[in-house]
Amino acid sequence: MPLNRNGLEQAKRACEFMGRLQIATVCASPLRRALDTAMILQKSLGCDLRVIETLSECSWGEQEGEIKGQWLDDWKAGERSPDGAEPYDQFIRRALGGINDALEQPGPVLIVSHGGVYLAVQKHAALDPAFDIPNAIPVRHDPPRDDFPWWTATDLGTR
């Protein structure tokens, strides 16, 4: 499904904001809306674009397109995977591999992906799992430092 008018507007606002930053590489999921958004950003920023297959969203199997509910909490807990869905642990390993592949590109790197992929960031950076990113809102992640031993996430907000 292509970006709708709202998605195009969100990408445009993100371009305006991201233009203030020195992004060297945009890394994207190959799925259409993420890739379309990444291409808009890449063109605006004048930087390289890398498509990374492992940044794709999770396959939810029978729950694809359904409203989040108890099934999602059960899936995250490893208690149950919907029929045909990618198991949680397998998905997190794959997504983390995609993130690491992106971070090996010339930086600073902008990753354009999906909410499910962000679960891997939250899990491995020990971020608050309630931290939710709306579509097309850039978030900067900084690794631990000597004076602050945790990863930080800063909503850079383009709203």
Pairing label, strands 109-112, 25-28: parallel
Which range of residues forms the domain containing residue 65? 5-155
Taking residue 104's Cβ as centre, other Cβ atoms within 10 Å add up to: 12
pLDDT per residue of the chain (159 residues) written in tens, 0 to 9: 889 999 999 898 888 888 888 899 999 999 999 999 999 999 999 999 999 999 999 999 999 988 888 999 999 998 999 999 999 999 999 999 999 999 999 989 999 999 889 888 888 888 777 777 777 777 777 778 888 887 777 776 654
CATH at 58: 3.40.50.1240
**pLDDT for the residue 127:** 79
Quick check: 136 and 11 in contact, CB under 8 A? yes
Q: Which residues pair with 141 in a beta bridge?
A: 153
Distance CA 32, CA 103 (A): 22
pTM: 0.87
Number of domains comprising the chain: 1
Q: What is the pLDDT of residue 46?
A: 95
What pLDDT is recorded for position 6?
Answer: 92
SS3 content of the chain, % helix, strand, coil (to 5): 40, 15, 45
CB atoms within 10 A of CB 54: 18
Predicted local distance difference test score (pLDDT) of residue 159: 45
SS (H, E, C) 45-94: HCCEEEECHHHCCCCEHHHCCCCCCHHHHHHHCCCCCCCCECCHHHHHHH
pLDDT of 38: 95
What pLDDT score was predicted for residue 157? 64
